[in-house]
Every structure is written in C-alpha cells, then in structure tokens.
Structure 1
Amino acid sequence: MTAPVFVVDGPVPGERTYVLDGPEGRHAVSVKRLRAGESVVLTDGLGAWSEGTVAAAEGKDRLVVDLGPAHTEPEERPRITVIQALPKGDRGELAVETMTETGVDAIVPWTASRCVTQWRGERGLKALGKWRATAREAGKQSRRVRFPEVADAASTKEVARLLATADLAAVLHEDRDCDSAPLASADLPADGDIVLVVGPEGGVSPQELETFRAAGARPYRLGRSVLRTSTAGTAAVALLLGRTGRWG
C-alpha cells in the first residue's frame, strides 16, 4: 500500500527530523493510528514532497518523522482545466472530489445562467471554501502531491476569456443538432492547456454556447448517454488523461 499523504504549511522539509502536529498530526496519530516504522509522505500540495519514516507518535496529535530528501514533482502536460457549472446541493463537492482523484489540474466554478444554485455573499464564500477543502482532502486521499487549484467563481465572460487562450477549448454539450463531435475524436495538444466546460443540469444555453464558440471553443459529447453535471467532468477528464498518455 502506498504511504499516506499529509500536508505541511510552508516549505517541505528534507533530510531532517520533523514534527507533524496540529490537525494533520491529529489525523495521523488519532485517525490513521500511524506508529513507528511506517512510511508517510509530506507535501505542500504544490508539487514539493518528502517521504519519511515515523520515528514516534506522541500524545494524540504529534507525529515525529525522519525525512528523506525533498523532491519536486513537475506539472503534468497538457494541463487540464474543468469549468464546472454549479450543481445543486453537495453534488459540487462530489464533482470536485472525483475530478481531483482522477487527476484534473484546475477547477473553475461557473455561474451559468441555468444553474439553480447561485453563489452570493457569505454563502458563496462558504461554498467555495468547501470546494477547496474537498480538493485538498481528495488530493491527500488519492496520494497526490500537487493538488488542483480551485479558482474563484467565474462569469460567462470570464470563462470565454479562459477558452480563448486554450490550446483545446471544448464544451460538453448533449444537443446533437449543434454539430457536436465525440470528445474521443478531438485533436489533443501534446503540451499547453486543455479547457473543458461542463454545463449545469439544464444544459448550456444557446447564448452561452455562441459566446464560447466566438472564443474559439467547439461543442463535444461523451457518448450516447447523458451524464449528470457532477459526473460528466470526471468522465471527460478520465478520457483525456488516457488519450494524452498521462495515464500511460
């Protein structure tokens, strides 16, 4: 089994004895029940990491670790960003969790016109915080050392600007009358940025689709069935990772 991952604040230490305390230390000692001799990985979630061996567990929230050298994992290419329309309830967190576990590099919440959920004021800040916390926990669970960035919520105009700079700009769209092509047939860049839009349950509106087309995006479909917004992004990311060779 691969070593569990814990997050440190600040630079990742290497070649030294380190005390993991606070919430992460408590999780390691009281939840994971790690003991001397077991392996762990410490990371900043930004690509830096160090593997070590537990020297001792002290109390309920202190783990003493003998660390090996520090490393930096390079960013994977091409970079995959998913523009995720806001789902209802906790389905947004489900989407973030599964896309993170699959390997997405960045997630941008999108306030599409047909979204039932709208992020405003304190409620919006709280929801964004939940998405970011979910990405962090899912990154640890899936043994990642470079967690996906969860950006601030974007408007349709802001999404269009992201699409305009992408090497592949794609909009998942279920309407076959809009000349959508299978995502499995898209020409993928070997480097650069792939930006994928996942619409809300009500679909991408005609006005939004035209805005995205004007920015250089093209509509694509995954297959014969129509997936929910909370699962479509994960399925699309898996397809892209397999085709780009990042899962090779």
Structure 2
Amino acid sequence: MELFYLPSAPADLAPSSPIEIDGAEFHHLARVLRKRAGEHITVTDGRGQRLEVEIREVGKHSMEGVVLERSVLEPPSTSVTVAMSLLKAPARFDFFLEKAAELGVSGVIPMITRRTVSQPSRERMGARMERWRSIMLSASRQCGRFHLPELHEPLAFGEAVRLDGYDLRLIPYEASAEPPEADFAGKKVLFLIGPEGGFSPEEVDEARSAGLQEISFGRTILRAESAGVFAAALVRARLLDGPPGRWL
C-alpha cells in the first residue's frame, strides 16, 4: 500500500472535500511514483485519519484531489518510547530510527549520557533532527503506519530518568540478571538505552533511585543500536499473542 502523509489535513474532512499535497510528499507522489489524474491514493495525517483520495490535477508544485472516503484508526493500546543515547557513528543511530519506526514505537528520545561521544552543537543538532524525522517518515510510509512516531527533543540522562507518565520505565543493563518478564499489554513503556560502552555504574544507580526497573537482554552484549531495536521487537513479539488492538 502506497501511503502519503499530510500532517496539516483537517481532522473533520468529509467525502467530497478538496485536498492539496505539496512539498516532499508531492515530489514523491508526482516525480518518483509518477501518479496521474484519475488515480486513487491513500493519505493520512499521521494521527490515525485515513483518507481515500482521487487525484484531480497534478501541477508543477502540488497535487489537488478530492476525498472519496474517510475513516479513523485508533492507536494501539500499548505504546513504546525509546530514549536512545546518541552514537559515535551517525549511521548506526539512523539504522535504529528506521527499524524502531518499522517496529511500531510511538516515540524516540535522543539522549546524552556520561559516555555519549557524539554531542553536536545546537545548530548541528537541528539539522540532524530534520534528517531523523525524514528517516522515520520514510520508514513509516514503507510499512503503512497511520500513527507517526514522535521524535522528541534531546534530553540529558538525568532528565530522561525523571520522565513521568509511563506505566513501565526500564533500563537494560549488561550486568543485570533480571529477565524482562514485564507485562507490556495496554501500557505506556519507556526504555533507556545506553551508548557504546553502556551506562556507567553511577547512572544505573541514579536510574534505580528514580524508580526505573533494571533488566537484562541476555548474556551477550548487544551493540547500542541493536539493543534499541531489541527493546521494540521484544514488546511487539509479546503482543502478538493478544488482540490486534494492542499491537504496535
């Protein structure tokens, strides 16, 4: 299924309503896929709205269409947010973002820890955030997600451990022997994933003091980006035994 994102789409669109797509989505639609007038496409605002649209006109900079059908998909009852340390190799962080979006995470928080090597300036961070959003959007389009994951502003480790509003807050740690036995279904889950070299013992102590639950991802030590992907895949795999409404 080819899916196009229009975050600015009004929430109350009805059949026969006009709709316009421009920018990067228009380029993908017209220049890459070469869509033409009369064809039907599926559009979403990234917040659950699903619009079946007939293309009426493809111009030089935008496409005009009309809504044929509208429906709203409820978000999964389980949500996963991963606070991931920035990594020394940018390509590894990019890989994590792509796979996390594919696996259904609801949010990603770039995090700076004691052992985080990559700490870009504010200007460079702004450019990276734009690229990261593009990566997550592309992955979400590829796998047909109607609820886009949120890329949060970067946080220091001390801020991340004090985030509230989650039913489960977990910190995988290579020295831990605690298996991940938590029941994820229907809960808001937060994972904190460390950088190359892992969390420092002081950070683990700080996380424990803040109420985070320490868990193990097995005997072998995973690369940071692999641990982030494993966290999302672990929840997704556990949910497959339950009703679809809980799935990521």
Distance, in Å, in 2 between the alignment partners of 1:76 and 1:149 is 14
Partners of 1:63 and 1:228 in 2: how far apart? 43
Q: Is the 8 A contact 1:6 1:40 kept in 2?
A: no
1:218-239 deviations in Å (ceiling 9; x for gaps): 2222234322212221222111
Output aligned runs, 1:1-248, within 5 Å.
Answer: 2-11=1-10, 13-15=13-15, 16-36=17-37, 38-56=39-57, 58-88=58-88, 89-162=90-163, 165-175=165-175, 178=176, 180-183=177-180, 186-244=181-239, 245=242, 246-247=246-247
SS of 1:118's equivalent? coil
- Contact preservation (8 Å) 2:3, 2:44: no
5+ residue gaps, structure 2: none
TM-fit CA distance, 1:144: 1.0
Matched AA of 1:3: E
Normalised to the residue count of structure 2, the TM-score between the two structures is 0.86
CA change 1:201–1:19 in 2 (3 A) is same
Q: Percent identity?
A: 30
Aligned equivalents of 1:8, 1:171: Cα separation in 2: 33
**CA distance change for structure 1 residues 119 and 72 in 2, over 3 Å: closer, same or farther?**
farther
CA distance in structure 2 between the aligned counterparts of 1:20 and 1:132, rounded to whole angstroms: 18
Q: CA deviation at 1:200?
A: 0.6
| Cα distance change, pair 169–54 in 1 and its aligned pair in 2 (3 A) | same
**What TM-score comes out, normalization by structure 1 length?**
0.86
Structure 1: gaps of 5 or more residues: none
Deviation of 1:72 (Å): 2.6
Q: Which letter does structure 2 place at the counterpart of 1:97? A: E
Aligned mates of 2:200, 2:39 — CA distance in 1: 52
Q: List, as ranges, runs of 4+ consecutive aligned residues in structure 1 with deviation greater than 6 Å.
A: none
Count of aligned pairs? 240
